[in-house]
Amino acid sequence: MALQQTRLIFKHIDEPGYTNDIDCYMQHGGYEQLKRAVTMKPEDICADVLTSGVRGRGGAGFPAGMKWKFLDRKSGKPIYLVCNADESEPGTFKDRQIIHKDPHQLIEGMICSAFAIQAKLAFIYIRGEFFEGYRILERAIEEAREKNFLGDNILGSGYSCDIIVHRGAGAYICGEETGLIESLEGFRANPRIKPPYFPAALGAYQCPTIVNNVETLCNVKHVIDMGGEAFSKIGTPGNTGTRIWCVSGHVQKPGYYEFACSELTLGQLIYDVCGGLKPGRQLKAVIPGGSSSKILRADERFTGKLKDGSEFDWGIEDIPMDFDSLMAVGSMSGSGGVIVMDDTTDMVEALANINYFYAHESCGQCTPCREGVPWMRKVTQRMVDGEAREEDAELLKSIADQIAGRTICAFGEAASWPVQSFIAKFKDEFVEKAREQAARRKEGKEAALETTLI
Amino acid sequence: MNLKPETIHKIDTLVPRYPTMRSAALPLCHLVQEDQGYLSHEAIEWIAARLELQPINIQELVTFYPMLRTEPTGEYHVRVCRTLPCALAGAYQTCRSFEEAFDCKVGHTSADGKVTLEFVECHADCGKAPVVMVGETEYTDIDAEKAAEMAAKMKTGELPTGLEA
C-alpha cells in the first residue's frame, strides 16, 4: 500500500521545473497571502494562528499562537521576530529543504508573521554550515525587496520591515531560543536564566521577541491562506497541520515525507513509505524525534491513557505519528527526525556516538551539564574501547539523573534522555558488553571489537 | 590588517543594519575569516576595534564557536559528519578512507598542507548520509569508496576547493 503524502509546506519542493527564484514562486501563487495579510488587521492574523492550533515545529511543540499572545505590547519597546533556522538536531533535515528549494515561502511566512506581531525588524538565524542556504536566502531577500514585499512601506500598507540573515558558527546550543538571542546579540550562546520563560516578554536587546522555527513560520502563510478554522481541521485536535518526518538510518528509502499529523503510524512510515529495512534485517529501535528524544525498542508494548482519556495498547508500529501519541509512549515527536536502527546496531556504540555529540555541544554554563555530559561520553567511550564494567549501566544512569532538571536550559534533558532511555531499554546489552569483553580477555584475545559507530 | 576592499564594503554595509554594533561581531568574524582564511590575533583586535569592543569580547567568541579558526586550513578543508545518522551509514569508514589516502589523522592537517581533515557534528542532511563538506561545498552519500575517489581528485587538484564562490 502506497500512502499518499499531504504536501502543504513541501507542495512544490522537488516538483520538476520548480526553481527557488521569485518568478517561479509567484507563478505558483506566491506572495498572494502577503498581499492579503497586509490588508487584514494584525490582531486578526494572530487570532487565526491561535485558532489554527499550529504547534512549534522546532522541537518543543508549543502552540505558536499562544507564544505570540505572550508578547509584551505594553512596554512600547520595539518587537523583533527571529526565525530559528539553526537546524542542528541530529536526524533533522527539513528546514534545509525549505531554505534551499523554496526560500520565498519562508520569507512570505516571515513577513506575514512580522506584520501580525508588528515587528520592527526580523532576523533569520541560519546555522553557519549552510553556506549555500545563506547565499540563497540573501538573494531571495533582495528579490523580495525589489518587489516591495519587504523593506519600507510594504505594498503601500504603511508597514515596514527588513530581514537580516545572521549566520551561526557551528554551535548546537544556538537552537535554544535564548542561546540564539545571546548569539544574535554578539555573545557566547549561553542560554538565559528563566524566568522570564519566554523571549516574548524580554528577548533580543531586552525587547519583546518571538522566535519561531522555519517550518512554523511557513505554516503561518497557509493559516492565512485557508483560515485558522480550516487549518485546524488538518490532523487531529491538538495535533493540527502537517508534519515533515525526516527519516534516516537503516531504511531502504531515507528522506523527508510530509503527512497530516496522526495520518500514519510509525510502522507505515518505516515499511510503506520508506520501503522497510534492508533485506534480512529486523527492526531493533527507533529514535522518533531527533537524537534528544527517548529511544523506542522494537519489541516494546506501549500502554496507557491519552490526553482525551482513551486507553491505548500499541506495539512500536502502531504508534500514530503526532505530538501527543509520541509523548504518551514516553518519547516525543521533537523536530521530526526519525532515526531507524536495525538488528546490526550495537546500542553501546550508538549511545557512545550520541554522548560524543552532547559532550561536544554543551555550552559549559551549568556545572551538571558541563561536567556530567563529558563524563557520560568518557564512560561509553571506555566501554567500547574494551574496558566495560558490568556496573557501567547504573553509573551512566546515575550521572544522567543528576543532570536533567538541574540546568538553565533543556540541553540538560536533551543530553540525559538518550542515556536514561538506552539504559532503561537496552541495559542487558550494556551488561553483556562487559561480560563479552571479560570472556575475550580470558581467552587472551583483544577485549574490544572494531567499532563502526564511534 | 590587509582586508580586501569588498570585505571592507560588506562590513561597512552590515554593521549599521543591526540595532547594536556588538550584534555584528559574529558576522564580522565570518567575513574576516573568509577574507584571511583564519582569525589571527591581529584580526581579532581589528574586529574588536571596528565594533568598539575589547579584544576579549571577540576572543571569547572565537573560542566558543567551532567554525571560527585561529589557524589556516590545508588547501582542502574536509569536514566529515560523524553524528549518529551519518555513522549508521558508515561515516567512520568514510573518514578512515580519507585518513589513509592522505596519511593524516582526523583533526589534523596533512604534512604537505594538502588537506585539513575534521569530524563535524550533524550537518542536517541525514537522508543522504554520509555527508562530507569540502570547503563550502557539500557532498552526500559518500561511502569509503567514494571518499577514496574524492581524495584522488584532491591530490591531482581536479576537485574544487569549495572556496571559489
Q: Same structural domain for residues A146 and A29?
A: yes
What whole-number distance in Å separates Cα of residue A296 and Cα of residue A298?
Answer: 6
The reply to whether A12 falls in a domain is no
What whole-number distance in Å separates Cα of residue B69 and Cα of residue A264?
Answer: 45
Q: Phi and psi of B79, rounded to 5°?
A: -115, 120
pLDDT, mean over chain A: 97
Find chain A residues with C-beta within 8 A of B125's C-beta.
93, 96
What whole-number distance in Å separates Cα of residue A196 and Cα of residue A201?
Answer: 7
- The whole-number average pLDDT for the span A77-99 is 97
Q: Which residues form the domain of A285?
A: 241-342
Residue B126 has pLDDT above 70, yes or no: yes
The reply to whether A2 falls in a domain is no
Cβ–Cβ gap A90/B84 under 8 Å: yes
Cβ–Cβ gap B125/A341 under 8 Å: no
Residues A29-75 pLDDT 10s? 999 999 999 999 999 999 999 999 999 999 999 999 999 999 999 99
Q: Are A122 and A85 in contact (CB under 8 A)?
A: no
Decide which of A342, A368, A402 is a domain's last residue.
A342
For chain B, what is the largest distance between any 2 Cα atoms, rounded to a whole number of angstroms? 50
Q: Does B30 touch chain A (CB under 8 A)?
A: yes
Q: Same structural domain for residues A46 and A194?
A: yes
Find chain A residues with C-beta within 8 A of B68's C-beta.
169
- The whole-number average pLDDT for the span B72-86 is 98
A95 alpha carbon, distance to own chain's centre:
9
Percentage of chain A lying above the pLDDT 70 cut: 100
- The whole-number average pLDDT for the span A336-362 is 98
Residue of chain A with shortest Cα separation from B124: A93
The reply to whether A106 falls in a domain is yes
The reply to whether A412 falls in a domain is yes
Cβ–Cβ gap B127/A360 under 8 Å: no
Q: Which of residues 84-123 of B touch A (CB under 8 A)?
A: 84-85, 87-90, 92-93, 120-123
> What band does A217 get if pLDDT is binned at 50, 70 and 90?
very high
- The minimum CA-CA distance between A352 and chain B, rounded to whole Å, is 10
Domain CATH code at residue A321: 3.10.20.600
- The minimum CA-CA distance between B153 and chain A, rounded to whole Å, is 22
Residue B58 three-state SS: helix
User: What is the per-residue pLDDT for A287?
Assistant: 98
- The minimum CA-CA distance between B1 and chain A, rounded to whole Å, is 22
What whole-number distance in Å separates Cα of residue A155 and Cα of residue A304?
Answer: 52
User: What is the per-residue pLDDT for A325?
Assistant: 96
Q: Are A371 and A453 in contact (CB under 8 A)?
A: no
- Going along chain B from its start, the domains and CATH numbers come out as 5-62 (1.10.10), 76-156 (3.40.30.10)
Q: Same structural domain for residues A43 and A149?
A: yes
Domain CATH code at residue A99: 3.40.50.11540
Cβ–Cβ gap A184/B136 under 8 Å: no
Q: Same structural domain for residues A227 and A262?
A: no
Q: Is the dihedral of CA A194, A197, A201, A206 positive or negative?
A: positive
Q: Does B31 touch chain A (CB under 8 A)?
A: no
C-alpha cell at A117: 506581531
Cβ–Cβ pairs < 8 A, chains A and B: 150
Q: Are A122 and A252 in contact (CB under 8 A)?
A: no
Q: Which of B27, B87, B125 sits opposite A96 (nearest CB)?
A: B125
Residues B47-69 pLDDT 10s? 999 999 999 999 999 999 999 99
Q: Same structural domain for residues A178 and A36?
A: yes
**What Å distances lie between residue B79 and A219, A402, B61, CA to CA?**
33, 34, 21
Q: Same structural domain for residues A304 and A353?
A: no
Residue A3 has pLDDT above 90, yes or no: no
Amino acid at A263: E
DSSP H or E run through B119: strand B115-120
Cβ–Cβ gap B66/A171 under 8 Å: yes
Q: Same structural domain for residues A315 and A376?
A: no
Q: Same structural domain for residues A338 and A370?
A: no
Q: Same structural domain for residues A223 and A88?
A: yes
What domain count does chain A have? 3
Cβ–Cβ gap B24/A453 under 8 Å: no
How many C-beta atoms lie closer than 10 Å to residue A297's C-beta? 16
User: What is the per-residue pLDDT for A436?
Assistant: 97
Cβ–Cβ gap B23/A184 under 8 Å: yes
Q: Are B29 and B62 in contact (CB under 8 A)?
A: yes
The reply to whether A11 falls in a domain is no
Q: Same structural domain for residues A144 and A247?
A: no
The reply to whether A13 falls in a domain is no
Q: Same structural domain for residues A204 and A113?
A: yes
> What band does B165 get if pLDDT is binned at 50, 70 and 90?
low
User: What is the per-residue pLDDT for A2?
Assistant: 64
Cβ–Cβ gap A248/B22 under 8 Å: no
The reply to whether A186 falls in a domain is yes
Amino acid at A97: Q
Residues B3-31 pLDDT 10s? 999 999 999 999 999 999 999 999 999 99
- The minimum CA-CA distance between B163 and chain A, rounded to whole Å, is 10
User: What is the per-residue pLDDT for A308?
Assistant: 87
Decide which of A342, A368, A384 is a domain's last residue.
A342
The reply to whether A320 falls in a domain is yes
User: What is the per-residue pLDDT for A331?
Assistant: 97
> What band does A271 get if pLDDT is binned at 50, 70 and 90?
very high
Output Rg (C-alpha) for chain A, integer angstroms: 23
Decide which of A342, A367, A401 is a domain's last residue.
A342
Q: Does B66 touch chain A (CB under 8 A)?
A: yes
- The minimum CA-CA distance between B130 and chain A, rounded to whole Å, is 10
Residue A259 three-state SS: strand
Q: Same structural domain for residues A214 and A291?
A: no
Domain CATH code at residue A415: 1.20.1440.230
Interface test with A, best of B10, B26, B29, B77 (most A CBs within 10 A): B26
Cβ–Cβ gap B136/A132 under 8 Å: yes
